[in-house]
Structure 1
């Protein structure tokens, strides 16, 4: 499907999500057996990506606000799984909005995860609107990513706080780093 649509990446989550973004089968505690099953499944997914020339990205979510019961939701969990598979056809979708809720210390997280990142998603917190509407210093995140050498995709996954054109311009301004 990715080839038909002309897109390089397909997004994955740690479990099936329903129409409201909640875990179809909520999990309170992830066991060692679940970790091994997830790693084996993701290795098979990476092999599928290799056969079809597509990259899969495992997205971190948050457990505290709007994704309770999702296994492997934390950025550190996604990073551990992706690193353990160690295949360029499986990378991490680092969602900064979710990481701010559950893990904070975003620049250190970016630095640690960067070798395994396939794409970065942004939205401010709280409110899930464009950069500049909440508590995240996206100018600092953008500068740090540029200094780290990140040249990959950064996607805006947010609601416009007002005029959508202004919201997109705020995103563009936040991630335009003077060289």
Structure 2
């Protein structure tokens, strides 16, 4: 059956008892790209040797979008992380509205985002685009649900779309995480349609449980058909835990996104 999407998998969430280079190698053997989170936790030399297609990794270690100090921290951290990403040939470097601490809790929480914060966030993303042009890389901005990430500024799908479309630069794309969209807004196919011109990657997990497609309420086969009908042919990445055997979970993911 034809496979219209570039399938990848977050290696951090599967085979938790295995070394990261083993996980990257096994995903490569199975025909998947490899996603990473924070690079300091892993041996870069061993990951380089795997020869995997590393599709995405966190593009920063500290910083935030909407204040002067946080923006300067973000740019400095992003510049350092770009060099690590280049060692691995990473396709995209991922950002959030603010850094995340233990359990994904935002380090800088705001229930109300002011107009000045919006303007500063847009300015920071324009600076990120300048860095991306200079270094010939692409950054993505990811949406997060506010139940798991309370007070995260610019976390909603709506806010991420507003910022990225406002900057409207080819070096800045949306990392559309449909697990987070389902919890925060629902209406997944329409959000895919709205975000389509700016999508750099789509991430998926079922809800509840954050496991592979078929374990929860989301009809990912219908989402896949809608994406194919809209002529989206970019990366779709499983960012999920395995309910049961990891390789069975991966095949369920592949089946859901095979048209």
TM-score by length of 2: 0.67
| Range with bigger deviation, 13-22 or 156-165 | 13-22
**How far apart in 1 are the matches of 2:173 and 2:130?**
12
**How far apart in 2 are the matches of 1:17 and 1:90?**
20
The aligned residue for residue 184 of structure 2 is 102
156, 161, 175: which one aligns with 2:243 = 161
Number of residue-to-residue matches in the alignment: 176
1:9-158 matches, within 5 Å, as: 9-63=92-146, 65-158=147-240
The answer for unaligned runs of 5 or more in structure 2 is 1-83
The aligned residue for residue 85 of structure 2 is 2
**How far apart in 1 are the matches of 2:214 and 2:136?**
36
- Point out the structure with max Rg over C-alpha: 2
Once the two structures are superposed, residues 14-34 of structure 1 have per-residue CA deviations (whole angstroms, 9 ceiling, x without a partner) of 111112211102111000000
Contact 1:2 1:54 in 2 (8 A): no
**How far apart in 2 are the matches of 1:147 and 1:100?**
21
| Range with bigger deviation, 15-24 or 163-172 | 15-24
The answer for unaligned runs of 5 or more in structure 1 is none
**How far apart in 1 are the matches of 2:175 and 2:161?**
9
**How far apart in 1 are the matches of 2:141 and 2:198?**
10
Deviant stretches of 4+, over 6 Å = none
**How far apart in 2 are the matches of 1:47 and 1:153?**
24
CA RMSD between the two structures: 0.7
Contact 1:124 1:136 in 2 (8 A): yes
Once the two structures are superposed, residues 15-70 of structure 1 have per-residue CA deviations (whole angstroms, 9 ceiling, x without a partner) of 1111221110211100000000000000110111111111100000001x211010
Once the two structures are superposed, residues 63-105 of structure 1 have per-residue CA deviations (whole angstroms, 9 ceiling, x without a partner) of 1x21101000001100100011111100000000000001111
**How far apart in 2 are the matches of 1:31 and 1:56?**
24
**How far apart in 2 are the matches of 1:22 and 1:11?**
17
**Secondary structure at the counterpart of residue 217 of structure 2:** coil
**Secondary structure at the counterpart of residue 144 of structure 2:** coil
